[in-house]
Amino acid sequence: MFKLQGILPPIATPFDHNGDLYKIKVQHNVEKWNRTGLAGYVVCGSTGESVYLTTEEKLQLWDWVAEYAAPNKILLAGTGVESVRETIALTNAAAERGYKAAMVRTPHYYKSLLNRVDAQVLYFRAVADQVKIPIMIYNWPQATGVDIAPEAVVALSHHPNIFAVKESSGSLEKCIQMMKDVKPGFQVFTGSAPILAPSLAVGCAGGVLAFSNAVPQTVVNIWEAHRTREFDASMDWQRRILRAAQLVTTKYGIPGLKYAMDINGYYGGPPRLPLTVIGPDAKKEIEQAFHGLEG
């Protein structure tokens, strides 16, 4: 089974002020992240505004990140869309570009039909059966309105081509419940930076964290403290990042995160419409929360 551990950012997509992909800033960010302890990169996840990207843009971003990523960084592609057919096509296109695994979010447009365990299991099994690389289930109910059931994850953990779940609900209890019942070797990742240290303490294999776009070394420090069994140090770093993480994940979202990247030496730039840049008060709040955090 494919194994992964550590911290990965679902990388933000750089757009110029015309709203086009900004290649030189992709290079800038990736080469700067290469010098950190991040385990790899997820390209075209929710933080990358994947729902606003065309298929051609996704392919372009996968090519660029593969070109600039250091050889020791593991590449995952965000490939989940609504239909099984297109998700398979995107995942296999990423595989052809050297991506080692794919992160596939829950389909959600027909919520009343897809909030059932049998429908969720069918979708992920159908994808996993036909793709050339292993997949990570991606659950973010706050955005999709679909919350994959723990029993669905348990059933899917036995599929040989499904190796992990990214649980972004922020529920530590749900992570624990999954880890208790999944097949041995199946991995649970948290998608919530505000609970990273306790998630690692209860057995999560790492984090796929939007926050790590802006100050990656802070969350790598939490991971390293956990790995060396220094729980007090891990929790100390957790307390230090808590306010900043809450601002750019739950309160201001991607526009706030992109501003945090801008003030920390990365390129965030503008989000793609209909998302809009944050205002002066929000910028000041983020500046204060990130003061002293170096990433």
What pLDDT, in 10s, does the model give residues 251-289? 999 999 999 999 999 999 999 999 999 999 999 999 999
Q: Give per-residue pLDDT as tens, 148-163.
A: 999 999 999 999 999 9
- 166 as an active site residue: the answer is yes
pTM: 0.96
**Token couple for 242:** 């808590």
Q: Give per-residue pLDDT as tens, 186-206.
A: 999 999 999 999 999 999 999
Buried b (16+ CB within 10 A) or exposed e, 263-273: ebebbbbbbbe
| Sheet (strand 40-43) strand order | 6-8, 206-208, 187-190, 162-167, 135-139, 101-105, 74-78, 40-43
Using the structure block, give the residue that is written with the tokens 């039909």: 113
Q: According to CATH, what is the number of the domain 6-239? A: 3.20.20.70
Strand pairing of 206-208 and 101-105? unpaired
pLDDT (0 to 100) of residue 1? 81
Choosing from 166, 251, 258, 284, which is the catalytic residue? 166
Q: What SS3 class is residue 254?
A: helix
Q: In whole angstroms, what is the distance from residue 273 CA to residue 276 CA?
A: 6
- The answer to whether the beta carbons of residues 135 and 128 sit under 8 Å apart is yes
The percent of residues above 70 in pLDDT, for the chain, comes to 100
The residue type at 100: K
